[in-house]
Amino acid sequence: MKKALRYLLSGFAVVVLLIGAGALFIQLRGIPTYDKPVLQQSVEIHPQRIARGKKLATMLCAGCHMNAETKRLTGKHMSDAPPVFGEIHAPNITQDKTYGIGEWTDGEIIYLLRTGIKRDGSYAPPYMAKLPHMSDEDIASIVAFLRSDDEMVRASEIPSVPSQPSFMTKFLSTIEFKPLPFPTTAINIPDSTDLVAYGRYLTVNLDCWTCHSGDFTKLDVMVPENSYHFLAGGNKMLDLKGKELLTMNLTPDKETGIGNWTEEQFIKAVKYGMKDGEPALRYPMMPYPQLTDYEAKAIFAYLQTVPPVNNPVKRSSM
């Protein structure tokens, strides 16, 4: 009996030791590293691409990389990132060769945006956007914009503040979050005359669905529709004061979603943050004035086609 207990205890000690060693390994090694990208691709820069890229980057990148003081993409502290991720700073992605991404090739930028693997092979955790569903042309437009002489991306000698990812981020990046596969076939933008298909493209690529589905930890990045409570809201966010608020249900459910909204109400809310003369959106949802009415209309048309989910989301108090 005593012997059995002793075996049990030493077995337990071994398990504790192994877990400790694993944790120490993860803590010291940090975020995993993969093969360095070898994508040879160069993007032709022309005014149409720069304009499209600026519009996309304003909606998709500026929220994190834009610095209010420099008015350029010189990076900033992401004060609203959930503290469990650690201390996160978005880096300088202007054209500066030392402090920005002036030395990155077009292929390296594209590879990062698709997979999450950076130039040196290290993995950018989920707090950096990834664009697995965006069309090749739209990705090329973002790269063209980053290379353009637009004021937002002009070389700025401002050092990035390194992020301090938490143990949790390192742990999850080791076992759970993996780089996304690089697309093996061409991705095209759906014909904009197909309102619903175009609306899905925008809903997916402007990331409406990640915030507006039920839970960040239950997203299916490769097949958005398989996410828990797809577009049905209830996902927890932080406002600028660190107070929790929930995302709204955007499915066409009449009682708990936006099934009773008119197209006009929707377009005004999404573009200007106003509904019936009242403020309709709150941080971290930023209005999208960059969208054309047609694009907002397409998103609305698509949202009306997703399966309605009866999910009452209590609007957080102001």
**Where on the chain is the footprint of ligand HEC (CB under 6 A)?**
57, 60-61, 63-65, 88, 90-91, 93, 101, 109, 112-113, 118, 124, 127-129, 142, 163, 206-208, 211-212, 237, 245, 247-248, 250, 258, 266, 269-270, 280-282, 284-285, 288, 299, 315-316
Closest-CA residue to 258 (of 197, 199, 210, 299): 299
Q: In whole angstroms, give the CA distance from residue 144 to residue 70.
A: 21
Closest-CA residue to 82 (of 244, 268, 233): 244
Minimum distance of ligand HEC from residue 45's CB (angstroms):
15
DSSP annotation of 285: S
CB neighbours of residue 1 within 10 Å: 5
Minimum distance of ligand HEC from residue 302's CB (angstroms):
9
Minimum distance of ligand HEC from residue 269's CB (angstroms):
5
Which residues contact residue 137 at a Cβ distance below 8 angstroms, ignoring those fewer than 6 apart? 188, 189
Residue number, 10 or 27, with CB nearest to ligand HEC: 27
Residue number, 12 or 294, with CB nearest to ligand HEC: 294
Minimum distance of ligand HEC from residue 316's CB (angstroms):
6
Residue number, 19 or 293, with CB nearest to ligand HEC: 293
CB neighbours of residue 257 within 10 Å: 25
Minimum distance of ligand HEC from residue 194's CB (angstroms):
18
Residue number, 6 or 201, with CB nearest to ligand HEC: 201
Residue number, 148 or 247, with CB nearest to ligand HEC: 247
CB 61 within 8 A of CB 144: no
| Encoded tokens for 96 | 């500066």
Residue number, 28 or 134, with CB nearest to ligand HEC: 134
Q: In whole angstroms, give the CA distance from residue 241 to residue 291.
A: 28
Phi, psi of 292 (to 5 degrees): -75, 160
Minimum distance of ligand HEC from residue 275's CB (angstroms):
7
